[in-house]
Amino acid sequence: SQQGEEDPQALSIQEGENATMNCSYKTSINNLQWYRQNSGRGLVHLILIRSNEREKHSGRLRVTLDTSKKSSSLLITASRAADTASYFCATETDSWGKLQFGAGTQVVVTP
Amino acid sequence: EAQVTQNPRYLITVTGKKLTVTCSQNMNHEYMSWYRQDPGLGLRQIYYSMNVEVTDKGDVPEGYKVSRKEKRNFPLILESPSPNQTSLYFCASRKGTGELFFGEGSRLTVL
């Protein structure tokens, strides 16, 4: 079964708006990562947050992690049409090497 | 240029005809992994390798084989492909426990 599950499954917003998506997971983790995928292409790494961290930023991206709730959120601020993609969270537990992905959130940003 | 290269990118084959999808990385990464991506299911890990001659099963290893004889290569072998192995396959690699670098994917159709 999947470790991480993203919510919502799909998100449609206009340029300039913020996009927030969430990831919930089931078991304790060592780290959680967010990836982006453009239509059938390879995934691209966005941010890694470790279990002892609560928030990380990278450009217009902000990731939070709440280990007590077993959840993470990815915020994209001031979205652009080029942010249109699918976004996946991936979790790594104590079983180093088993990096498990959720089903993803499909984000569409309209001009 | 640092990259993960998969071949073939597209393949149509018939049930039972053995095939190999190659994966090569030029970043001297110890860790390599194979995923399959199916609609609504996200990415599911097939096999991974922590280093040369060390391989482990992921979540969906049935029907697949791998080998890691050299650090740079991690081929995925389908001994007797079946239609339920029709999927988009991704190879990925990383150094240590950080971000994964993905190939561009191999779209396989088994008739």
- The tens digit of pLDDT for each residue in A16-28 reads 999 999 999 998 9
* A42: nearest CA partner in chain B: B104
Q: How many CB atoms lie within 10 A of CB A18?
A: 12
Shortest Cα distance, chain A CAs vs residue B40, angstroms: 6
* pLDDT at residue A40, rounded to an integer: 78
CB-nearest to B48 from A31, A97, A102 is A97
- What burial class does residue A98 get, using C-beta atoms within 10 Å of its C-beta: 0-12 exposed, 13-18 middle, 19+ buried? middle
Instruction: Give the three-class secondary structure for A15.
Output: coil
Q: Do B56 and A100 touch (CB under 8 A)?
A: no
pLDDT higher than threshold 70 for residue B17 = yes
CB-nearest to B90 from A2, A42, A98 is A42
Question: If interface means Cβ-Cβ distance under 8 Å, which residues of chain B face chain A?
Answer: 4, 31, 33, 35, 40-45, 48, 50, 56, 58-59, 88, 90, 92, 97-105, 107
* pLDDT at residue B56, rounded to an integer: 94
Show residues of chain B in contact with A42, CB under 8 Å: 4, 90, 102-105
Dist CA B7 CA B39 (whole Å): 22
CB A20, CB A78: distance < 8 Å: no
Give the residue ranges of chain A where pLDDT is below 70: 1-3, 95
